Copies of this chain bind each other. A is one copy, B any other.
Amino acid sequence: MTGQGDFAEKLDKLARLAVHVGLGSVAGQEVVMTAPLDAVALARRITHHAYAAGATVVTVLYNDDQAVLDRYETAGEASFDAAPAWLYEGMAAAFRSGAARLAIVGEDPSLLSGQDPAKVARANRARSIAYRPALDLIARAAINWTIVAAATPAWAKAAFPGLAEDAAVDALWQAIFKASRADGADPIADWAVHNANLRARCDLMNAKRYSALKFRGPRTDLEVGLADGHIWSGGASRSENGIIYNANIPSEEIFTTPHRAGVNGTVTATKPLSYQGTLITDISVRFEGGAIVEAHASAGEDVLRRILETDEGARRLGEVALVPHHSPISNSGLLFYNTLFDENASCHIALGQAYAKTVQGADMMDGPGLIAAGINQSLIHIDWMIGSGDIDIDGIAADGAAEAVMRKGGWV
């Protein structure tokens, strides 16, 4: 248990980090923030630092897990094919006029686990379609954006099931501060060092020009072909509006774009995935020619299958990311049940939409051009974890020669 003064100081450091490292700069910009209702304290500190840094208007859109659940239990059938298009179109309009985007995550990881998977899939699909214009602007980094986390009671109970609620919330906050590198004397300086390290790792991988990566481990034997002209990226990047920002706090990954038709073999998840309130555990899939042809899960399999049916690109990969098994998050030994943290403790792949900026020239391609270049397109982008201390990764050169990249989850 930490004292309130100590907590307030760390919360303030996380809020400063979110504005000055996450968004990078907000001078003269609007900020569009989303946050769980239980994250008011962090949202207010971020709002404060955004105004202090010159933001013009900070708008916080609060989401309420309880109202989401009530909808599933109370609303009529027509509700599950509906989404507030006006709000998502409004967000896209805000981004087009230069607004920065900040998301505070902290939702209950298994909020909808007891709900009808068909309704969950329909509602997610309706939401994905409505959110697409806004997501496109985020995916191509038209503006600076970032995601940070706040400990909420429901999430804390999932992450620390053995603790009473207050103690669990406190423990989760401490884990968030530590994983986010927000608990040092000067977190902004710490992030500058961290970003330099990630940049050096990207430079190293970019010099290799591998044509594929090969993952081997328990129940995993997967070759992930990389897109021609792929670029390894990680940590800070520059948005189209010219601002150096960090999309995720924390972030330990370097990532790039796989070839949508070049993925073959089997892979098994090493951590459960919480997707839109449903917990999907022990995902195991087989790829052929880039597409998943077989998929299993020990829980949430129905939701997983419906995800894969979202569209043609939903069963193909849009991202592959490498994270050493000995990252600070991984070393904590915690399972967060939240992708922002769990994906930064583990190598991962993402189903669905690819980031155009991790392929040379992709920002100039249209939809058919992107597909032709092997850059996957989809309404969804769902990361899931395939790394552990048992995974070996080889880089495959253009001539087919294999080279060790990671052994037992650590960089070679």
A62 CB-CB contact with B under 8 Å: yes
Q: How far does the alpha carbon of A97 sit from the alpha carbon of B56 in the complex, in Å?
A: 29
A243 located at the interface, meaning its Cβ lies under 8 Å from any Cβ of chain B in the complex: no
Chain A contacts to B: CB under 8 angstroms: 28, 30, 32, 37, 40, 43-44, 47-48, 51-52, 54-62, 64, 66-67, 70-71, 74-76, 78-79, 82-87, 89-91, 93-94, 97, 99
Closest to A35 in B: B62
Known: A37-B40, A62-B62. A57 touches B84 (CB 8 A): yes
Pair A59/B71 contact, Cβ less than 8 Å: no
> Which residues in B have their C-beta under 8 angstroms from that of A79?
51, 55-57
Q: 15 A-B pairs, CB-CB below 8 angstroms?
A: A30-B86, A37-B62, A40-B64, A43-B67, A48-B74, A51-B70, A51-B71, A52-B74, A54-B76, A55-B75, A58-B71, A62-B62, A86-B90, A87-B90, A90-B90
The interface residues of chain B lying within 8 Å CB-to-CB of A93 are 86, 89-90
Copies in the complex: 2
Chain B residues near A71: list those with CB within 8 A.
Answer: 47, 51, 57-58
Tell me the smallest distance from the CB of A38 to a CB of chain B, in Å: 11
| B44 engages A66 (CB within 8 Å) | yes
Contacts of A86 in B (CB 8 A): 30, 32, 90-91, 93-94, 97, 99
Q: How far is the CB of A188 from chain B (nearest CB, A)?
A: 19
Instruction: State how many angstroms separate the Cβ of A19 from the closest Cβ of chain B.
Output: 12
Instruction: Kindly provide the distance from the CB of A271 to the nearest chain B CB, expressed in whole angstroms.
Output: 32
A237 to nearest B CB, angstroms? 24
Contact: B75 with A87, CB < 8 Å? no
- Residues from chain B with a CB closer than 8 A to the CB of A87 are 59, 90, 94
Distance (Å) between the CB of A28 and the closest chain B CB?
7
With a 10 A CB-CB cut-off, give which of A48, A56, A70, A71 has the most chain B CB atoms.
A56
